[in-house]
Structure 1
Amino acid sequence: MNLDLINRLNEITDLQESLLVLSQNFNEKIVFSTSFGIEDQVITQALAFNNIQNIEIFTLDTGRLFPEAYTVWDKTKLQYNTKIKAYYPENEAIENYVNNNGINAFYNSTELRKECCFIRKVAPLNRALQGSKVWITGLRAEQSDNRNQLNKIEWDEQRQLFKFNPLLHWTTQDVVDYLQKNGVPYNTLHDQNYVSIGCAPCTRAIKPNEDFRAGRWWWEDQSKKECGLHQS
């Protein structure tokens, strides 16, 4: 990605325009990862509305998702007639983990939780990103202190690609307004105060005034609440 395109994308505030400009001016592989959260649903709608075909949409099915995640996945595919490629954990790795540690071993230690996240999320993500040069995410600055330090376009040294965060400066209300205005399907758990939704055993609703990430891995120290997909 050249400097002119980076500067142009940084200056554009309209989501749909930024995705169009990226798709029309970058000739290498672009992917977008969705977990069917509200931010990702906004981006999926924008891609579908503009019939952008050269940005591949993929998702990671960990095998421990909420039923509501599969429902919104199906609704999204039907509503937008869009292809969403699924990546799954390796069978042998999951079998070894469960057989050696137990089905819910992630509650026992941070190390075992991170190992589970690696098998179910990080390893499939690494496969999904192979050959990609731009990775579009739904990260927003107000989601955490670390994410508040991000730029709209980041260079991921480990994966040797650019991360594009087009919703970085959107508020939660901006996202909700877009969903409502455009009739975008969303995970109904959001209506029950589930804010950041991951695997079912590792996600709970948050209480009033709790942090955005409080519902994820709530039994762990606050500083450890990342799964390895995003280090920020």
Structure 2
Amino acid sequence: MTNQGIDHDRLNSLTDDAVRLLREIEASHGPAALAVSFGAEDMVLLDMVCRHAPGITPFTLDTGRLNPETHALHQQARRQYGIAIETWFPQAEAVQDWVHSHGINGFYDSRSARKACCHIRKVEPLARALAGRKAWITGQRRAQSVTRQALALEEHDDAHGLTKFNPLVEWGEQDVWDYIRAHQVPYNALHDQGYPSIGCAPCTRAITVGEDPRAGRWWWEDPEHRECGLHRAPHAESVRAGGGKRP
């Protein structure tokens, strides 16, 4: 967590823009859902949604390999905001078959094995979580990695047939932490242990000073391939270039 002074004018401007967009999504793109992986960005958006756009449904994907700190924050957020966060799990039989074929940690052996694991634990559950929605919201930012530098504020998600919004696309890391401090938002204890990006426990590590914020994700692979498949580059032009059954 950074300790620089808060630029309140900048933070208020960024917050007003994000809240305005969230309210627009709630009013015009429902039913809409917020993807929450319990990283800092998602906690900022969860706080905004609970305060300003409660008609947006938060959900999370529990891969079965999350850190205890992530589960602790999930429970804390549920208590603090008084909400139930939809939780989607991978299909048990698919996980069992993958482990039988590759071993419990076979994702280290090849990128194809790792992507297959991500597909089972994340991509397929996401499809179920988004079924019936008209829009979903993520905490992605352009500054996070080389794979996200062309990120847009609003995109058409061909894979799921809906609109995808990235309200924090232009936020910097300092902006995220300024919001967390200003609004006393709970955050993942792993951030204080050097984890700027948080995913599955065996696929995420702390980073050192000067490393890319997502260098700790799938660190054994080339930076250009460090995505899990949840966020595919849209085939259609971005709309705003500037910027299953329910459980």
Tell me, yes or no, whether TM beats 0.5. yes
> One-letter code of the match for 1:20?
R
- CA deviation profile, 1:95-131 (whole Å, cap 9, x unmatched): 1111222111001111111111000000000111111
Aligned positions, number: 220
1:72 aligns with 2:79: no
- 1:133 and 1:25, CA in 2 relative to 1: closer, same or farther beyond 3 A? closer
Show the counterpart of 2:42.
40
Contact 1:12 1:18 in 2 (8 A): no
Say which SS state the counterpart of residue 210 (structure 1) adopts.
coil
Say which SS state the counterpart of residue 135 (structure 1) adopts.
strand
Say which SS state the counterpart of residue 146 (structure 2) adopts.
coil
Show the counterpart of 1:147.
148
Show the counterpart of 1:189.
190
Contact 2:118 2:228 in 1 (8 A): yes
Structure 2: gaps of 5 or more residues: 1-13, 234-247
- Deviation (angstroms), 1:15: 2.0
Q: In 2, Cα distance between the equivalents of 1:13 and 1:82?
A: 23
- Deviation (angstroms), 1:20: 1.7
Show the counterpart of 1:25.
28
Farther off after superposition, 212-221 or 59-68 = 212-221
Q: In 2, Cα distance between the equivalents of 1:226 and 1:183?
A: 30
- Deviation (angstroms), 1:47: 1.1
Show the counterpart of 2:124.
123
Say which SS state the counterpart of residue 174 (structure 2) adopts.
helix
TM-score by length of 2: 0.85
Superposed CA RMSD in Å reads 1.5
TM-score by length of 1: 0.91
- 1:161 and 1:12, CA in 2 relative to 1: closer, same or farther beyond 3 A? farther
Show the counterpart of 1:217.
218
Farther off after superposition, 212-221 or 169-178 = 212-221
Q: In 2, Cα distance between the equivalents of 1:108 and 1:151?
A: 33
1:14 aligns with 2:52: no
Q: In 1, Cα distance between the equivalents of 2:110 and 2:67?
A: 23
- CA deviation profile, 1:159-198 (whole Å, cap 9, x unmatched): 2111111100011000001001111000011111101110
Contact 1:142 1:171 in 2 (8 A): yes
1:40-119 pair list within 5 angstroms: 40-50=42-52, 52-119=53-120
Structure 1: gaps of 5 or more residues: 1-10
Contact 2:146 2:224 in 1 (8 A): no
Q: In 1, Cα distance between the equivalents of 2:50 and 2:162?
A: 24
